[in-house]
A and B are shown apart, each in its own frame.
Chain A
């Protein structure tokens, strides 16, 4: 069927996207938030007469970055501030413009930051491993023509694809990578594998049916048919989740904007990978194994 017949194109497309994302990360770098590097982030807004960026820069020379946030505020990022230093900074800003209010302040010591970073990476790895194990066990009875381990491994490949692409997008637009972003990634992992499993599940069922009825069919045909049968369901599900996310993007506050964005990209990537990546890969593995 359509997807299986053109599997080469789809796999190559995915590979390109992943490659592009990785390159972007190295070339543009990631805007890593203070959650992981340690440092301080001060978000302020002005009720009136907001001073322009340059004058704030002059006032806070030690700031690593100052960005405008919304129509009336700035986000100032510096190294870790002690109490006294923070008071001083706020004092200076109020002196400049007395209508300033502090919307949000975060200060993370370097050790805490690094710990969080390590924990995040560990969490991602644990999740990937747990998924392989679960899928392999779940599909252990379906070892022909592709061994169950391969189902697990392919699931992982699609997951990595789903995760690398949001990272690439964030690198492209210089969006902040913080603990919420990692949360989004883990959530994407959690339910992207959903889609993939449903399709695999259908393939498994067909294989079992064929075994019972002693029907022999090329694996590619089975996969193709499974895809057709599950296509509606797959797309509908992702669509409903996407609707929920889109609404949140539009109506949700700025506090969670990048978080929702990461989730949305992940859901789209996940849907794509289940249909256009996982199954073609399965067929490839099957024919490769047959050749051996």
Chain B
């Protein structure tokens, strides 16, 4: 078991692809406030979601790796409700570029697919050529999700997206559809086609249905996006954080070094003070560290500088549980119990202390998590995970080891101070 975990640990450290927070990888965090003043309350939620989606699409267009775009609503402490968009762009250190990526208002366009797509001789070039129609989001009054009841084209209850244009749009739309029956009218959001329905007939009512085998979710998405194209919410930049890559790198290096040294020093201390149980504690600690790292990798937990500090801190705390048990065992032995009994009793009696102490630590972690920005959250998370795993290792693993070795003859090696029967 020991060999396995050491192997695993090595593998993780060297090859593990840990998710690094902005302050370690370098990157930019932008927080926008959305002016929802003009939006009716029930639409706010979906408008914010639409806003989020559009911005994520833009960010992805520029090939940012693993961006994070999130809606944040804060109301608890500030009285009125404020809606924000938090955008994290790892690796983007040019703030100007980042802001430019995001700051433009989204565009909705309708374009016609020209019928003659040329295929060059020999090779087939798939090139769709689109012509502008002049019909854009500003003519769209509203989009709505509807279900066709009955027998439209033989399919009952198919989700469709109903469009409603304003009066100018109505005219323009009528013209387009009249002249291009049978062609495809592609709908573009931010330069990317999101739907390519076929024009079946002239439409003079200024309403249209886009039906194209949508699932209800797809249809809902489309409605959301169209409405957003029609009603953009103005956004304002309220907070920026940008960290250059070199600072981050330094922090990672020193963090790793610090981690190794702490581990070494603590182990030395433990072995010196507790001898053989100390060795066990160190081994348990190693397993503990590996377990934590594995959890960080698989959950995954975004590591920040504070997060690494939290982890190293929890290593110190993990030792606590072990020490509690050892001291208790020492006492039981002093009271005259056999080694084996002492170990058993030691563990069970120390448990209440361990439990109480760690729960308070966890409460602290939870509060921190609620409070913080992403940097703080990293700390709270690593600390909490650390406390939980420490409870596990202290009780389960250490116990197994100790029981395994607690026969009378080895007990000579226990404790610096020896013990008297």
Decide if A190 touches B96 in the complex (CB within 8 Å).
no
A127 to B365, alpha carbons, bound, how many Å? Answer: 10
Residue A103 contacts which of B77, B244, B331 (CB distance < 8 angstroms)? B244
Asked if A75 CB lies within 8 Å of chain B CBs, one says: no
Name the distance in Å between A92's Cβ and chain B's nearest Cβ.
Answer: 15
A263 / chain B contacts, CB cutoff of 8 Å: 309, 313
Q: Are B360 and A197 in contact (CB under 8 A)?
A: yes
B residues 304-320 with Cβ under 8 Å of A? 305-306, 309-310, 312-313, 315-317, 319-320
Which residues of chain A are near B214, meaning CB under 8 Å? none
A149 to B405, CA, bound (A): 43
**Interface mask (B83-100 → A, CB under 8 Å = 1, otherwise 0):** 000000000010110010
Who on chain A is nearest to B261 by CB?
A247
B residues in contact (CB < 8 Å) with A: 23, 31, 33, 74, 76-78, 82, 93, 95-96, 99, 237-244, 246-247, 250-251, 253-255, 257-258, 261-262, 265-266, 269-270, 273, 305-306, 309-310, 312-313, 315-317, 319-320, 323-324, 327, 331, 352-353, 356-365, 367-368, 370-373, 375-376, 379-380, 383
A56 at interface, CB cutoff 8 A? no
When distances are taken between beta carbons in the complex, the residues of chain B under 8 Å from A127 are 363-364, 367
Interface string of A252-286 (1 = CB under 8 A from B): 11111001100100000000000000000000000
Cross-interface CB contact of B361 among A115, A119, A194, A230, cutoff 8 Å? A194
Q: Closest residue of chain B to A127, judged by CB? A: B367
Enumerate chain B residues within 8 angstroms of A87, measured Cβ to Cβ.
96
In the complex, besides A83-B99, A182-B371, 19 extra interface pairs with C-beta distance below 8 angstroms are A105-B241, A106-B242, A119-B371, A123-B368, A134-B363, A180-B375, A186-B364, A190-B362, A190-B364, A190-B368, A191-B361, A236-B327, A240-B319, A240-B320, A241-B319, A244-B312, A244-B315, A251-B261, A256-B306
Q: B266: which A residues are within 8 A, CB to CB?
A: 240, 243-244
A243 B360 Cβ-Cβ under 8 A: no
Residue in chain A with minimal CB distance to B377:
A183
27 example contacts (A-B, Cβ-Cβ < 8 A) are as follows: A102-B242, A109-B239, A134-B359, A180-B376, A189-B364, A197-B353, A197-B356, A198-B324, A232-B327, A236-B323, A236-B327, A237-B320, A240-B266, A241-B316, A241-B320, A242-B316, A243-B269, A245-B316, A251-B254, A252-B251, A252-B254, A252-B258, A254-B250, A255-B247, A256-B251, A256-B306, A260-B309
Q: Which residue of A lies closest to B318 (CB)?
A: A240
Q: Does A215 contact B (CB under 8 A)?
A: no
How far, in whole Å, are A108 and B239 apart by their CA atoms in the complex? 4
Q: How large is the interface on A (under 10, 10 to 19, 20 to 34, 35 or more residues)?
A: 35 or more
Which of B77, B313, B375, B379 meets A245, CB within 8 Å? B313
Q: Is the CB of B258 within 8 A of A190?
A: no
Instruction: List, in ascending order, chain B residues with CB within 8 A of A123's CB.
Output: 367-368, 370-371
Please name all residues of chain A whose beta carbon is closer than 8 Å to the beta carbon of B315 when the two chains form the complex. Answer: 244
- Least Cβ distance of A42 to chain B in Å? 10
- Report which of B93, B309, B360 forms a contact with A134, defined as CB distance below 8 A: B360
Contact B331 A247 (CB under 8 A): no
User: Which residues of chain A from 222 to 237 have a CB within 8 Å of any chain B CB?
Assistant: 229-230, 232-233, 236-237
Inter-chain CA distance A86–B361, complex, in Å, is 41
Q: For residue A247, which residues in chain B have a CB less than 8 angstroms away from its CB?
A: 258, 261-262, 265, 312
Task: Using CB atoms, name the residue of chain B closest to A81.
Answer: B240
Q: How far is the CA of A197 from the CA of B241 in the complex (A)?
A: 40
Chain A nearest CB, measured from B197 CB (Å): 40
> What separation, in Å, do the CA atoms of A195 and B352 have in the docked complex?
13
Are the C-beta atoms of B77 and A118 separated by less than 8 Å? yes
Chain A residues with CB under 8 A of B96: 83, 87
Residues of A contacting B323 in the complex (Cβ-Cβ under 8 angstroms) = 233, 236-237, 240
Contact A244 B262 (CB under 8 A): yes
The A107-140 residues at the B interface (CB cut-off 8 A) are: 107-109, 111-112, 114-116, 118-120, 122-123, 126-127, 130-131, 134, 138
- Determine the distance from Cα of A183 to Cα of B358 in the docked complex, in whole angstroms: 18
